[in-house]
Each structure stands twice: as C-alpha cells, then as structure tokens.
Amino acid sequence: MIEEQNILFQLEAATQKEAIRSLVEKAAANGKISDVENTVQAVLNREEEGTTGFGKGIAIPHGKSDGVAEPVLMFAKTAEDLEWNSMDGEPVQMIFLILVPEESHQEHLQLLAKLARKLMHDDFIATLRETNDAEQLTAFLEKELA
C-alpha cells in the first residue's frame, strides 16, 4: 500500500484537520481517492471516537470511505509540530494515514496492528526520522510492513 508518491516531507499544516485534508488531497491527486470531502470526513469521524496520536511524535489516522478507490498508506513528516491530542501529550511530527474503501473488512486493521508493533521499537522510529529520501523510505516500509 505504500508508494513513493505517497510520502511527503515538510507537510505544511497548522492543524490536525489541515494535515488530514492535505494528505487526502495528495492521495486524490495520485488517483487513490475519488471523493475528498467524504474521505476527509470519514477520517475526522474516526478521530472523534478517540485520538490516533500514538505517541513518540507519531499519529496514525485512518478511515473507511466510499470515496477511497483503492487502499492507500500515506506518510508525512510535518514542517512544524502539530497538536494531535496524543496519548503521551506530545505534538506530532510524523503521520501515517491509512485509507481503505468502505467495503474493506480487516486489511486496514492488520496494517494498523503491524505499524503499532513496529512503532514500539526505537530503531524503527529513528529510521523514519532520519530518512529524507522517498525511495529509501518506501523500500524500508515495504520491508518492515511486509
């Protein structure tokens, strides 16, 4: 689900909502999303159920929507710290956005579980923070999340 074109560095956003919208719009530009508004709203609705601010400067927002043409994993490093109501109270600098079609069953939950397990390891997080090349980061994530 991760592709080089779905990795962004220096994401400009002042709020959590702006960050989500920017990532969904990028996914739409890449042909993965057919309805931006519906998809943004699905992710925001999920956020209302409970924070996706994982901690350690990372958020994993996700959503299921009819506006998603095919499953996609977006990754972004933010230009500025973002308030995300994270579990550890710290701001976010990295975002994984998981988007799947409404009819999807468990695939996004499996990816979410894999990501959460990987994010328990400081070396995984350090690689995410230190890698600023989309091709290298894509290869790393493909290997780690396989």
Per annotation, catalytic residue among 62, 105, 108, 121: 62
Active site residue 62: yes
Q: Cα–Cα distance between 33 and 19 in angstroms, integer?
A: 16
> Is residue 33 within a helix (H) or strand (E), and if so which, with residue range?
none
Q: Cα–Cα distance between 103 and 60 in angstroms, integer?
A: 20
Q: At what angle do helices 36-49 and 16-29 cross, to 10 degrees?
A: 140
> Which pairs count as long-range contacts for 117-120, CB under 8 Å and 24+ apart, including other chains?
118/144, 118/145, 119/54, 119/56, 119/58
Q: Cα–Cα distance between 102 and 100 in angstroms, integer?
A: 6
Report the catalytic residues.
62
